[in-house]
Structure 1
């Protein structure tokens, strides 16, 4: 059985496959590297589009608004909120996240 470690890490130290704990969600980071760009005062900003692993619990408990986990799409005359369970983890080195990571 794989063991996990719990860490507090700045955004730059997140890795593919990490689970970020945010607002009661368990967001698994994708296998691809994050988008990066230069932000305020030249700090590098990192953005990971992850997937909420405990989506049913998040929705049942109302941990975040349902609309935050949807993508709007046009459906033949009306807009609909299509539930995707995607969540973006974003920040620079000033942002610190609680992370579950497989032990090495």
Structure 2
């Protein structure tokens, strides 16, 4: 995406869409700051695409998290489409342009 922006963690805000590891992560709540680390709650908007192993965006690691499956021999947990964004003030994130 040519029009994306790069922002440090403290400049992220609710409503931003972060692009990371093929995910489109909507920051859907206020951020928290503790011990030099910022944490933003996020919702993976393209989870179905990431979990479809026929998709060009398929990522086994991400899909296993989103589907709640970490080990082949364990019973799958309920699917979770959440993915927090966290980092210190030096971390930068690629986001979709803000409206």
TM above 0.5, one fold? yes
The alpha-carbon distance between structure 1 residues 19 and 93, as it changes in their structure 2 partners (threshold 3 A), is same
The size of the alignment, in residue pairs, is: 88
| Counterpart pick for 2:80 among 69, 77, 84 | 84
Given the two structures, how large is their TM-score scaled by the length of structure 2?
A: 0.76
* 1:62 matched to 2:59: yes
Q: CA RMSD in A?
A: 2.1
Gaps of 5+ in 2: 53-57
The alpha-carbon distance between structure 1 residues 58 and 34, as it changes in their structure 2 partners (threshold 3 A), is same
CA contact (8 A) 1:20 1:100 kept: yes
Q: Distance in 1 between matches of 2:59 and 2:68?
A: 18
Higher strand share: 1
Q: Distance in 1 between matches of 2:31 and 2:60?
A: 25
* 1:34 matched to 2:31: yes
Structure 2 equivalent of residue 75 of structure 1: none
